[in-house]
Amino acid sequence: MDELARYRGVRVIAAMSGGVDSSLMTALLRDAGADVIGVFLNVWDYAREDVSRHGSCCALEDAYDARRVADQLGVPFYAMDMRDVFRRDVIDPFIADYESGRTPNPCERCNRFVKFGALLGVADQLGARYVATGHYVRRIDDEDGIHILKGEDAGKDQSYFLATTRREQAERIIFPVGSLHKDMTRELARRYQLPTAGKHESQDICFIPAGDRIAFLKRQGAEAGFREGDIVDTEGNRLGRHAGIAHYTLGQRKGLGLANGPWHVVALDGATARVVVAHPEDAMICRVEVGEFSWLRRPSADDGLTAKLRYQMQPACCQVTELENGHLELCFEKAQKPAAPGQVAALYHGDELMGGGIVVAAR
């Protein structure tokens, strides 16, 4: 509460998803004396989907739960229609990526374009200085400006998904639960008697609540992702056939059905409908080219940097070089598992998130 005292009397938009994290966040801000307005983002028409259980972020049940929490806490509440923005900036790129052989990260795009893009516009309309989210990320302000750090709970840290956030966006975002561990979040939610205290978390993509990515892509008409093609090695030798590149992800080794394995998927070519595989020792990479990079803080010359190319990856030491085309090249000290175009590359100095971008190529 001491950390949140600075927001007393300040208008803050609480991005309420209907889960326990954003519910507690709203309660903490209210008790800190902030002028809180709860906002739920309606991003997808769930009437199209067979939603058979709770836990799908931003689903109909979540809107109901968010409103219940806001009513209990006595804060104003609005449900905002963001379906067109979400379709344009998240759904359509997600489909296009799977058709082309890229690996999308829809949560990153939602944060960048919807939660920290369109929602800041809503904050301006409502006269709010900040937007608060339930991400497990910490923010520290000092004479050098803002610093975005990993969440205190290493098992729940979500800084990776904020890597492409622009600095001017980050300056207006706060993370009230970032210093808590998940078990404490639930305990505090129980003390507040919040109806979401025991609500389970979904591991699914929010707009695919049943978890069936292939069925979703087919319903959305992603035909290019389901063209039959060849499975080849890195020399172009044909090893087998496949039913569409959308069935595969970079680094995949199970379900390939190839002799003389093990094999790892190392490339997906949407233009030729080819799946390229290699033996594990040939699948590792040392260099990654990253585009669309946003610096939250530029490192000094002696700052040691690490990078994550996947959410579950342990940060690995790397050297960073700026290329003539404006991209960055990450050169890892130790070889890493394959990285796919479309994945997020997040750069860190210790626990501080320095920035991030989108993988363009890896070798």
Catalytic center residues: 110, 206
Residue 262: asked if its preceding bond is cis (omega within 30°), the reply is yes
Under 8 Å between Cβ of 33 and 75: no
Tokens encoding 32:
């800190």
Under 8 Å between Cβ of 113 and 89: yes
Please name which of 336, 86, 350 lies closest in space to residue 359, comparing C-alpha atoms: 336
DSSP 321: E
Tokens encoding 268:
């997906």
Q: How far is CA 322 from CA 5, 285, 288, 329, in A?
A: 40, 19, 12, 6
Of the CA atoms within 13 Å of residue 57, those in its CB half-sphere come to: 20
Query: In whole angstroms, what is the distance from residue 152 CA to residue 4 CA?
Result: 16
Query: In whole angstroms, what is the distance from residue 23 CA to residue 188 CA?
Result: 10
Run of H or E residues at 11: strand 11-15
Specify the pairing of strand 35-42 against strand 77-81. Answer: parallel
